[in-house]
Chain A
């Protein structure tokens, strides 16, 4: 069973629109971490955020915000007022296990922001 699901394979928006990328995870552990990474066309993954399972506080960083809801096992990512530079593949990831030996990436969502 897939531990991290990103149901949206591809999303296209027009510049300045808001967009939300969904991430649903599955774990039996009580302690785990969730991550979001961005992969621009150059290929290198860029770390965006880390959230532990005990901190459900939403986080905002500039135009980026994250909504973590344990009740629905979701960790969604919203970009406000999207820009062309936001075009990339975005990956959600789950880290679990006593020493993080299980680090699983979701399949990714390709976001295209059109001018």
Chain B
């Protein structure tokens, strides 16, 4: 089955630790995205990547880092510099980055900082 997988589903970390969220897709999509969702709020774009070895900052990139070494993988690292990291993180992909392309989403990772 084609789709997007995110792991783990729930993640706990201690304050001051870096943590990496996994996102893998087997849809052969060029573009991938990371969003953050806070309770009762919409999605905010953290980073996106149009193609392998290239990525761009979104609206709230501070305290986050990404890599895109493989087409199917787009991991997100939440660093200790992120002041309020507790949130629900969603990964998405689209065939390419284009105005008409819908994004397909993974199941999300809920990160809690203790």
Interface residues of A (CB under 8 A from B): 9, 31-33, 35, 37, 42-47, 50, 52, 91, 95-101, 103, 105-108
* CA A106 to CA B100, docked complex, whole Å: 17
Residues of B whose CB lies within 8 Å of any CB of A are: 40-43, 45, 88, 90, 92, 97-108, 110
Judging by beta carbons under 8 Å apart, are B99 and A99 in contact?
A: yes
CB-based contact B108/A43 at 8 Å:
yes
A37 to chain B, nearest CB (A): 8
Main secondary structure on B side of the interface with A: loop
- Min CB distance, B84 to chain A, in Å? 18
Asked whether B42 lies within 8 Å of A100 as measured between CB atoms, the reply is no
**How many whole Å from B107's CB to the nearest CB in chain A?**
5
Q: Which residues of A contact B45 (CB under 8 A)?
A: 103
What B residues does A101 contact at CB under 8 A? 97
Main secondary structure of the interface of A (DSSP, over half): loop
Question: Does A95 contact B43, Cβ atoms closer than 8 Å?
Answer: no
The answer to whether B43 touches A33 (Cβ under 8 A) is: no
Q: Is the CB of A97 within 8 A of B99?
A: yes
- Chain A nearest Cβ from B94, distance in angstroms: 8
A35 touches B106 (CB 8 A): no
Is B88 a contact of A96 with CB atoms below 8 Å?
Answer: no
Task: Give 5 nearest A-B pairs by CB, closest first.
Answer: A100-B99, A45-B105, A43-B108, A107-B42, A105-B43
CB within 8 Å for A95 and B100 given contacts A43-B88, A43-B108: yes
Chain A residues positioned under 8 Å from B104 (CB to CB):
47
Structural contact, B41 and A47, CB atoms closer than 8 A: no
